[in-house]
Every structure is written in C-alpha cells, then in structure tokens.
Structure 1
Amino acid sequence: MSHSVRHLLLVEDDPSWRKRLDDAARAEGVAVSHASDGVEALDWLRTHPRAGHPDLILLDLMLPRMDGWELYGQLRMDARLRHLNVLMFSEALHGQEVPLGGVVGYLHKPPTPESMMGAVRSRLRFAGEIPAREPSGTYSLELREDVSLSLRLLPAPVLHSVRMHLLRAAELVGSELPMASTWLMALPGTPPALLVSVEGVRVVLDVDDEARVLRATSVDLPQDLLTRS
C-alpha cells in the first residue's frame, strides 16, 4: 500500500526555489530539512542517526562546492547512506535518463518553481511506489583532473548525460561484466578498461578491481559540442 513521505531532505542552493519547495512539502504534511549543497548535505546525513534520515532526498544537480552527481556517488559508496532514495531535478534533464540505483525519478527544472510543484507534491504523496534500493556492487568513480576540466567545457545537458552514464557504468561493473552496447563496451588489454560513449563524447575508464574503483583517464570531446557550449 502506498504511503506518503514523512521527512524530506531538500538540497537546493537557490533561496526562492528552496522556499517554494519547502512550502509545497509542508502543505503535504512533510517535515523538511535543508542543505544548500552536497558538502552540507553529506555532513548532515553523516551526523544524524539512520532513524533520523529522510524518506526522500530532493536533489538539485547544479550546486556549489559538491554538485548533485558527486553527492549521489558519495551516497552509493557509504554503507550507512546507501538505503536513501533520491529524486533528482535540473534544468538540463530532458527525460532520457538511464536508471540509477536509489534514484526514484528525474524532474526537469523549469524557469519558475510553480511549474514543478505538481510533480513534486505527487511524488511526496506516493512514496510507497518507490522501489527498494538494490544491494550495491557499485565501484567508486574517480575523474582525473584534466578529464574533469575537459568535461566542464560541454553544454550542461550533455555533461549531465555523460556523468549519469559514468555512474551507471560504476554500478554495472560491480555486478556483472558489461556487454557491448550503444554506450558501454569493454576494451581489450591488461589492466582492463571500459569505454563510455555518450553523444559523441568518449571517456576511457580504467578498472581497479582490488580497490573497486573506476578511474576516468582520458576523454575525447567532439568539436561541434564545444562550439555549442
């Protein structure tokens, strides 16, 4: 039987959005805790006992200091926080997202909060439909500094898509050997490596099974994407 969210952690840096989302949640009878970025959210979660954790994290992906993708990756690697469910939103999301463990949905962030309130309130009412998080075989994801800097040259929607697929690769390699697909393939050689290809962007990931880490070591960016950014 479905049940509503009782406690929400809202991770949002924009004060006007924070107030409107807070108002919408409280109108549904939901207690709201706040964090303005990923660093603050992670600190809040790690200093609260599991009994005090939220039923749902409403997470803006575009944040200062630690953005939403990095926070999500940290949650996946922390055994105390892996049970948490996340609803992501960003203006760069456009409905072509891949499944990620613990992510219960993606919302496109419109120019004004009012356009998203209905979808948020619906999610808060029917938390019982949120699937349980599967056991994690996730590897941590490390981006070499030059790779990270290069990816920031991409238009925001493409950057979001690439980072989403990199995190998906980190989930797949921990549970099964990735099969060749439209976006992920294993490269021959020792040590093993993976190639993630999204919208023409190609990222090579070295696989460290002992440390359970995927390390992004090189990236190839199409020139036409750079001119659009």
Structure 2
Amino acid sequence: MTASRVLVVEDSPDVRALLVEALRDEGHEVLTAADGLAARAALAPGREAAGVDLVVLDLMLPHVDGSVLLAEIRRAGEVPVLVLSAKDAVYTKVDMLRLGADDYVTKPFDLAELTARVEALLRRSAPPAAAKPAPLVHGPLSLDPAAARVRMDGAEVALTATELRLLYLLLASPGQVFSRPRIYEAVWEEPFVGDDAAVKTHVSNLRGKLREAAPALDPIETVWGLGYRLRAL
C-alpha cells in the first residue's frame, strides 16, 4: 500500500528503535517521540507530526500519560491510534477503546502481528481510491462515505474511521442481524479469534454518539444472543 506517516510514541529506546526499523521496512515514514510532552508538542497544529496517518502510542509514558494523550488526540481529530502497553487486563483494553483507540496490542508483542495491525488500520482509514460508494440513508440517519460525514436527525456526528466502517456495514443492510464475529471480520479485516471486547466497545461508542445527536432515537438494536442490527426509524 502507499507509504504513510506514522508517529511512534514510546519511551523505551530499544522498543522505539525496533518499531522504527520495522515500520520503515514496510515503506512508511516514521516520526518518534520519547515521552508524552514531546508527543503533545509534535502533534500540535503546524508541527511535523500534526499530519500523520497513524499513531502508535505507548500507555506508560513520562510526563504525560498515554491515556491522557489518547483523549487529546481523539478530541483533535480522527487519526487512527494503536495503543501499545504492558497492561493486559481486559478492563484496561476496554477503557482505551472507549477513549477512542482503534486497536490495542500488549507487550511483549509479535512484530509481524503489530505491523499487520498497523497496515490494517491504515487500510481502513484510507479513502477509497476507486469509485466512491453512494451515500446511505436510513430514516433520519445518513452516511456519505466519500465525504466521511454522518448526520443523525440533521445533526452532524463525528466518528472515528472504525466507527464509520461499522456504521456503513449496518446501514448497507438495515434490519439484518450481524454477529460480533462477522462484524469483527468485516470491519477489522482479520480473522475473529474469540475476543469480542473491541466490537462491543466500538458499538457502544457509536450508539452513544448517535444518541447524543438525537436523544429520542436509538438506531442500533441489540439482538440478544445474536448480535446487532439497525432498527426501523
């Protein structure tokens, strides 16, 4: 795929060097930050890293914690973020996904898996190169894939790249029930291995944003024991 610009935020020199080498071997331009303050400065408007295509973010950072940086990055825009951490507790993973992380990899990690996840995130966030898919409309809910814009009852809703793909999947087949494994394989573009925390958290985030735009409406329905579908609006 086309070379992208990746910011690696990691305080360990050895891990940072390993990530830089692996990502450059994949053809990407790699920028680095060794602590939270350096990352915050690098991502500030007008700075070199402000236009990166993806951030690989360690959680345990000096000066500014990675979770704080993640929240700041998400408030500022929709750049994909892959969280990298030695914390492997499920609740930590879920918390980071709720804060807006697009993926989560625990240390120690397999380098091939990490680079594959980076490539998958970049593919999902890249605009379509060929013909743009037509806008989808479901009652007061609409999604324009070409512009990456979502409106709910007239109000524009800001979604991450993963949330957009999830919503597009549901909107393309309103009324159809999608299981969590099927959603994972369609949205994340990799085999489902039994951990549905990412799906549940991203569905919850998406539902929360749509409800915030139109509190009286709740377009995503949980079909207990089966999965999710769009309800009639």
- Structure 2 length-normalised TM: 0.50
Look up the SS of the partner of 1:84 in the other structure: coil
Q: Relative to 1, partners in 2 of residues 1:173 and 1:53: Cα closer, same or farther, differing over 3 Å?
A: closer
The residue type equivalent to 1:121 in the other structure is: T
Structure-2 residue corresponding to 1:85: 80
The residue type equivalent to 2:111 in the other structure is: M
The residue type equivalent to 2:103 in the other structure is: G
> Structure 1 CA distance, aligned partners of 2:123 and 2:12?
29
Structure-2 residue corresponding to 1:117: 111
Look up the SS of the partner of 1:103 in the other structure: coil
Contact 1:37 1:65 in 2 (8 A): yes
Deviation at 1:23, TM superposition (A): 0.6
Deviation at 1:100, TM superposition (A): 3.2
Deviates more, 1:119-128 or 1:11-20: 119-128
Contact 2:37 2:63 in 1 (8 A): yes
> Structure 2 CA distance, aligned partners of 1:70 and 1:58?
14
Which one has the bigger helix percentage?
Answer: 2
- CA deviation profile, 1:108-164 (whole Å, cap 9, x unmatched): 111xxxx42111211233321249798449xxxxxxxxxxxxxxxxxxxxxxxxxxx
> Structure 2 CA distance, aligned partners of 1:20 and 1:88?
16
Deviation at 1:50, TM superposition (A): 8.6
| Divergent runs of 4+, >6 A | 131-134
Look up the SS of the partner of 1:100 in the other structure: helix
> After superposition, where does 1:99-114 map in structure 2 within 5 Å?
99-100=97-98, 102-110=100-108
- Structure 1 length-normalised TM: 0.51
Look up the SS of the partner of 2:114 in the other structure: helix
Structure-2 residue corresponding to 1:75: 73
Equivalent residue for 1:20, pick from 18, 24, 32: 18
Q: Relative to 1, partners in 2 of residues 1:101 and 1:21: Cα closer, same or farther, differing over 3 Å?
A: same
The size of the alignment, in residue pairs, is 141
The residue type equivalent to 2:113 in the other structure is: A
Deviation at 1:5, TM superposition (A): 5.5
Could you tell me which runs of 5 or more consecutive residues in structure 2 were left unpaired when the two chains were aligned.
127-147, 151-156, 160-200, 216-233
Structure-1 residue corresponding to 2:182: none
Q: Relative to 1, partners in 2 of residues 1:124 and 1:133: Cα closer, same or farther, differing over 3 Å?
A: farther
Look up the SS of the partner of 1:48 in the other structure: coil
> Structure 2 CA distance, aligned partners of 1:86 and 1:5?
17
> Structure 2 CA distance, aligned partners of 1:73 and 1:51?
17
> After superposition, where does 1:209-220 map in structure 2 within 5 Å?
none
Higher relative contact order (CA 8 A, sep 6+): 1
Structure-1 residue corresponding to 2:38: 40
> Structure 2 CA distance, aligned partners of 1:38 and 1:49?
15
> Structure 2 CA distance, aligned partners of 1:20 and 1:51?
20
Contact 1:95 1:106 in 2 (8 A): no
Q: Relative to 1, partners in 2 of residues 1:46 and 1:119: Cα closer, same or farther, differing over 3 Å?
A: same
Contact 2:43 2:49 in 1 (8 A): no
Q: Relative to 1, partners in 2 of residues 1:16 and 1:58: Cα closer, same or farther, differing over 3 Å?
A: same
The residue type equivalent to 1:92 in the other structure is: K
Look up the SS of the partner of 2:123 in the other structure: helix
> After superposition, where does 1:33-182 map in structure 2 within 5 Å?
33-48=31-46, 53-78=51-76, 82-94=77-89, 97-98=93-94, 99-100=97-98, 102-110=100-108, 115-126=109-120, 127-130=122-125, 135-136=157-158, 172=208, 175-176=211-212
Contact 2:4 2:53 in 1 (8 A): yes
- CA deviation profile, 1:67-107 (whole Å, cap 9, x unmatched): 110101112333xxx12110001111345633336422000
